[in-house]
Amino acid sequence: MVKLNENYLKLPGSYLFAEVARRTAAFSAAHPEADIIKLGIGDVTLPLPPACVSALKRAADDMADSSTFMGYGPYEGYAFLREAIVKNDYEPYGVRIGPDELFVSDGAKSDCGNIGDIFSEDCVVAVCDPVYPVYIDANAMAGRAGDWDGRRWTNIVYMPCTGENGFFPELPERVPDLIYLCFPNNPTGMAATKEQLQPWVDYANEHGSVILYDAAYRAYITDPSLPRSIYEIPGAETCAIEFGSFSKTAGFTGTRCGWTVIPRALERGGESLYDMWMRRQSTKFNGTAYVIQRAAEAVYSPEGKEQTAGMIGYYMENARVIRSGLSEAGLETYGGTDSPYIWFRAPGDQDSWSFFDRLLDEAHVVTTPGSGFGPSGEGFIRVTAFGDSARTREAVERIKSML
């Protein structure tokens, strides 16, 4: 009989969101009259910017005409989109990345997971704790995580991000080969400064490690002194791969478009990582749909920029309402100023699930328990700013009166 990839069989069930849904459904069944507000969602709710919808329709018309029809596109994405990303998301920040150092993809999640294909199965992987689960699970599937002991993977280097270190990891003692960093962070909502990132870049260059930098929330940075790209840090071009996404920037979660930057200067053992990823993509990926790349290009049109800024402003106003309301209620809150996530400590040393239950039972508000993102998330709760503004205000008022 065929042998299965046993690494998959070691994976614990995706417990977090299933358990949130289960408890919410149980509460709802017991209290059908309760008006439940969901502040747990990690998905955008506003529709696509009109500029993107128009571009999508124009591109659909291109496909209907033999003179403008597009078949297979370049593996690395169309030049029009790669050039637009470089011109708008890198050049203004002083980053000298060329369009020939960038791959368009169907989103950051696939790239964050698939990038492992070009690295050895023996690589040691480090992640922040709490963490976006994709980084760990994708490496567990590839056999890099060791065994699940009920709380942790035996071969993953967990880097605690807690109140004590300002939710920014310390350089680990055991030197990892691959280091996942994500700023602004999901779930903590904390952004990183250039001064915080510089030692990581120096460390990776010194040890030959590679930083895998997830910049999916870059558009939520409001403080102009904070870096939107790891390449704003000197030396990053020889040690970092960066992932970008239109999902949270422009509401593309269901439309699917992102990118990965691999600088030409990034080599290990004399091998170009750009060339290796090109080999991987040209074998296993046939590109992002032309119509989608046209829609993504429109994010950078004058109307697209104005519309996406409006969307982000809407979510960030929610974040401000949540953060200030929860602080007024006496909660210790983090994030929410350069990110759509607010991370707060459950009062009175309660664990994450106990306070989740209390918020559901008494305020009828659904959140996400921090412990679901890793052991160091215990005692915290994540709330998101992706909801409707009136409902968000209502939820915050309910939590304030509950406390």
Ligand X SMILES: *Cc1c(COP(=O)(O)O)cnc(C)c1O
What is the binding site for ligand X (CB under 6 A)?
107-109, 132, 182, 186, 214, 216, 245, 247-248, 253, 258
Q: Which is nearer to ligand X, 39 or 363 (CB)?
A: 39
Q: Which is nearer to ligand X, 228 or 364 (CB)?
A: 228
Radius of gyration, CA atoms only, the chain: 21
What burial letters (b/e) apply to 43-82, b meaning 16+ CB within 10 Å?
ebbbebbebbebbbeebeeeeeeeeeeeeebebbbbeebb
CB nearest ligand X: which residue? 107
Q: Which is nearer to ligand X, 142 or 182 (CB)?
A: 182
Q: State the amino acid at position 215 in one-letter form.
A: A
Q: Which is nearer to ligand X, 15 or 69 (CB)?
A: 15
> Min. distance of Cβ 103 from ligand X in angstroms?
13
> Min. distance of Cβ 377 from ligand X in angstroms?
14
Q: Which is nearer to ligand X, 200 or 259 (CB)?
A: 259
Q: Which is nearer to ligand X, 220 or 231 (CB)?
A: 220
> Min. distance of Cβ 9 from ligand X in angstroms?
25
Q: Phi then psi for 221, rounded to 5 degrees?
A: -70, 125
> Min. distance of Cβ 181 from ligand X in angstroms?
11
> Min. distance of Cβ 214 from ligand X in angstroms?
5
> Min. distance of Cβ 397 from ligand X in angstroms?
27
